[in-house]
Chains A and B, each alone.
Chain A
Amino acid sequence: MSFRVLVLAVSLLMSMTTYSKELYPLASQKQEAQFHALLHELRCLVCQNQDLSDSNAGLAKDLRNEVYQLVKIGKSDTEIMDYLTMRYGDFILFKPPVKSITLLLWFGPILFLGVGLVILVVSFRKGSRTNDD
């Protein structure tokens, strides 16, 4: 009995991955790949840790449709991302663009690591110098 339930559950799960292909038919493999790749790069603004392909939120469904329509008419990744960031800002992208305003976001951690190392080295040297006296 439980084995049958398992088989049913696994086959349902497997069918869910093809679910979106039937709902969003596209002319070529290339477009399908573009569509699915984009969905993974875009954030659901309601459930903000999920991407557009995973989220069940109403807005996610609407945005999936928008992306689908844009892919269908042949828009490029940049054009589609610009379309969405124009309406929702950079936050809708999981990877924020490297602009002057996000430089600290991207390079901050390395910067702090560098400063920390410098302080470590300097205090180490200072400590060893006083020990010699």
Chain B
Amino acid sequence: MKYLSWRMIPIFVFVVLLLLFWRGLSLDPHHLPSTRVGKMMPEFQLPLLNDHKHSLTPKDFQGHMSLLTVWASWCDACAREQPFLLKLQQKGVLIYGINYKDTPTDAKKWLAEWGNPYQLIAEDVDGHVAIDLGVYGAPETFLVNKKGMILYRHVGILNEQVWQTKFLALMKEG
């Protein structure tokens, strides 16, 4: 019996590897987990798109659950997720936007074409605040809780499936 189990090891290892590789097929090797999840938003102050006299700061996120989306007019995927963001806004979700490495003219033109679901939009022209948030591409959406802590970061287009599987559960926890 002992002799038999010694021979089972390679088969066992093979099956384990098979399962790991199968799992690996659905993983994205380029995907980075966010180091900012579970931490407070970094301190920042960015001018608003429509009103340079006022700014967006972490204080604007206090007291309510909200989303923070990093987007740009040059970003195709951002246009593709816009209908879904508008749907969320109509459902009462608060969404703040950071216009990333863009110009105000292009940004406003883009919003006129694709719609504007944002409570407030801030301009991050040199992308410095995005770096503080650990952003490495657009679009990215952060889920922020009432105290201003980042609960989750989604890279790429936000859609119904991601919303249901990743965001809703966290939103209920408050």
B35:A86 contact, CB within 8 angstroms: yes
B132:A59 contact, CB within 8 angstroms: no
Interface string of A30-69 (1 = CB under 8 A from B): 0000000000000001101000000000110011001000
- Which B13-68 residues have C-beta < 8 A from chain A? 29-30, 32-36
B131:A45 contact, CB within 8 angstroms: no
Chain B, Cβ-Cβ closest to A61: B127
Q: Bound complex: CA of A59 vs CA of B36, how far in Å?
A: 18
A contact face: mostly helix, strand, loop, or mixed: helix
Q: Bound complex: CA of A22 vs CA of B103, how far in Å?
A: 27
> Contacting A62 at CB < 8 Å: which of B32, B36, B131, B134?
B131
Min C-beta distance of A97 to chain B, whole Å: 14
Min C-beta distance of A66 to chain B, whole Å: 6
Question: Is A106 in the interface zone, CB < 8 Å from B?
Answer: no
A87:B131 contact, CB within 8 angstroms: yes
> Contacting A89 at CB < 8 Å: which of B29, B35, B128, B133?
B35
Min C-beta distance of B9 to chain A, whole Å: 9
Contact partners of B126 in chain A: CB under 8 A = 62
A-B contact pairs, 15 of them (CB 8 A): A45-B32, A45-B136, A46-B137, A59-B127, A62-B126, A63-B131, A66-B131, A85-B35, A87-B35, A87-B36, A87-B131, A88-B32, A88-B35, A88-B136, A89-B134
A contact residues vs B (CB 8 Å cutoff): 45-46, 48, 58-59, 62-63, 66, 85-89, 91
B contact residues vs A (CB 8 Å cutoff): 29-30, 32-36, 101, 126-128, 131-134, 136-137
